[in-house]
Structures are given as structure tokens and as C-alpha cells.
A = this chain, B = another copy of it.
Amino acid sequence: MLKFILIFLNIFINIKNFFHFGDKMIYAFGHKNPDTDSIISAIAVSKLKEGVIPARIGDINPETRFVLDSFKLPDPKIIVNSAENKYWLVDHNSEEQTIDGLDEDQILGIIDHHKFSRSVTKALNIHTEPLGCNCTILAKMLFAESINVDKNLAGAMLGAIMSDTVIFRSSTTTDEDKEVAGKLAEIAGIEDIEKFGFEVKRMACNLKSFNPEYEVEKDFKKFETGGINYGVGQIETVCLEDVQEAKSMVMEVLENKMEKENLHFIILMVTDIMKKGTELWVTGAPDFVEEAFGKLENDALWVDGMMSRKKQVIPQIDRVIENAVNV
């Protein structure tokens, strides 16, 4: 029996050495609740930097599943923190968005398109650009270093760009995103970029994976005016009809959030990118919202042309509140 155990142990040690288990590995990974940009960015870094293994710190959503399957790319490995490993951080840099317990010494570099919000104690490899998508930066880096971007990687990176820029309709979209998307589409042999983008975004409509808490929190901001505290979140979609099916679940999340965070009311903007308008879903005092935008029906109101929280919601709501408070 002991002999068998020793043989198995020996085989195990050999396998372990063969695969470098226990050695320091280098992984690239994107943020928590990874989106398509985070997953495809991790794969792109593995082409850019030698010895880097694409990874992720969360589940693959249906949109990303569609992109990975369409372009025959294997799923990045799911990882948990290990002090032994080194990491490239992509599509995120803040401590809240990264793997738990990450030490600065484990960071080999950061490639990101978000605001730099990490406090560091020494010089690091940091590359950030204010572009609509992290894959745009990575494509530029791959092109600059003349690294071959094959048809499948190009298609997947294009998918990430179309997703992150919401088919070029997000306000963060830049000319560089469009230019790089054009180059990638050419490599991937995709003729109608918009049509492809719509296919990708439609996958996010799969309500099986729709997580109301996550969708509400994803882009939620709090405001205060005249002593009134309120919150405004925003979901961008290409499939308002599908999202409608989840409305009762979302409203419950909003009610709980309003109570827990002592807010007077919450407006969730469900913005339809294709129809270019927003349905407002409202909990709490509807009077302010009705005075600003019109009568609610079932706690909801469609406003044609409304896309921007900053320009088309907050100033209007603040004005109504200020008038009410002054009277």
C-alpha cells in the first residue's frame, strides 16, 4: 500500500513540476463582475506580454460567452489571490475592483481606460488612456509592437469595443475607438460593424443572467439638494422589452436601497441606446419627477431623447426640489 502511495506521490510531484504548479505564475485579469472588455483584455495581454496567462476573477456573462464562442477563444482561467503570483491588471485599477488581498509588489503593470484611483508607494508600470474601451488601448499596443492579431482575437476585441462603447453611442466613445474598431473589423472580416455590435449587445438581454442588484449598483450616484437626498442610477440597453420583464425585481431592489440608505427617492434611468430615449423607473416621492418630466404610470415614464443623467436629469430635478423647498 505504502509503495502505491509513494508511486502516486512521485507521479504527482512530476506532474506538478511539469506544469510549474507552485512556481510564480503571471496572470492578467480584469475587474470583478467581468464584462466583455475585461475578459478579452486579459486574453489580449497574454499576446502582448510573454508568459502571461489570461485570467478572470468572476463568472462569464452571456454577452462575453457569445463573443468567446463566436471567435473560438478558450475561457480565461478563474483565479483567487495567491501571494505567489504576479499580475497584470487590465480594465481596472482601484482596490475595490481587483482581486482580494492584492499586494502592490504583485502588480507587474496596469493597462486601463478608467481614472487612476489607486494609491501607490513606488513607481509602477501604468498605462492609462481616456478611451471608450480598454481593448482599444491593447489593440494599439499590439499594432505598435507589430504583434500578429489573428482573425479571432480581432473579432473578440471588436466585440469588446462595441460592448464598452455601447455601439459607439456611449459618451466615452472616441475617434480612436472607432478607428481601431475599423482596423479590427477588417482583420476579422466583419463588414457591418453596427450590426455585429447589435448582435453582441443583444446577448446582454438574456434575462437568465440579469442580476437586479448588480444592474442597479453598476452606475449609481447619490445627490443632495435643499436637504433632500436622492439617487439616480442608469442602465444602458438595446433591449428595453426584455429588461421590462425584470422590472418588478428591480423595483424591489430600489425600494430596499432607498430605505437602507435613507434616500428620499430613487430614479433608475433605463436608457435604450437604439431608440435614443430613457424610461425612468421611480421609487419614493414621484411628485418631483412628475413635475420635472411628466405623469408616471406604474412608477415609470418614457422620455424621448433623454440619454444623459448629468445634463438631462440632475439639473431639472434639482430645480424642482429647490422651488418646492423655497415655497
- Which residues of A come within 8 Å of B, CB atoms? 112-117, 120-131, 144-145
Contacts and interface: CB of A to CB of B under 8 A. Distances in A.
A6 to B, nearest CB: 43
B120 A124 contact: no
A168 to B, nearest CB: 18
A246 to B, nearest CB: 30
Contact of A128 (B126, B144, B145): B126
A64 B124 CA distance: 27
Contacts of A123: 112-116, 128-131
Contacts of A121: 115
Contacts of A115: 120-124
Tell me the dominant secondary structure on chain A's binding face: loop
Contacts of A113: 123
A125 B129 contact: yes
- Sort A-B residue pairs by CB-CB distance and give the 10 closest, nearest first: A123-B130, A126-B128, A115-B123, A144-B144, A125-B129, A115-B122, A126-B126, A127-B127, A114-B123, A116-B120
Copies of this polypeptide in the complex:
2
A95 to B, nearest CB: 14
Contacts of A128: 123-126
A27 B310 CA distance: 32
B130 A125 contact: yes
A114 B124 CA distance: 8
Given A116-B126, A122-B130, A123-B129, 11 more contacts: A113-B123, A115-B121, A115-B122, A115-B123, A116-B123, A116-B124, A117-B120, A125-B129, A126-B128, A144-B144, A144-B145
A237 to B, nearest CB: 24
A202 to B, nearest CB: 28
A172 to B, nearest CB: 8
Contact of A130 (B112, B124, B127, B144): B124
A126 B127 contact: yes
**Most-contacted residue by chain B among A123, A130, A131 (CB, 10 A):** A123
Nearest to A118: B116
A123 B164 CA distance: 15
29 contacts: A112-B123, A113-B123, A114-B123, A115-B120, A115-B121, A115-B122, A115-B123, A115-B124, A116-B116, A116-B120, A116-B123, A116-B124, A116-B126, A117-B120, A122-B130, A123-B128, A123-B129, A123-B130, A123-B131, A124-B128, A124-B130, A125-B129, A125-B130, A126-B126, A126-B127, A126-B128, A127-B127, A144-B144, A144-B145
**Most-contacted residue by chain B among A124, A125, A126 (CB, 10 A):** A126
Contacts of A145: 144
A128 B127 CA distance: 7
A121 B114 CA distance: 10
A98 to B, nearest CB: 16
Contacts of A127: 126-127
A125 B174 CA distance: 13
A39 to B, nearest CB: 20
A123 B128 CA distance: 7
Contacts of A126: 116, 126-128
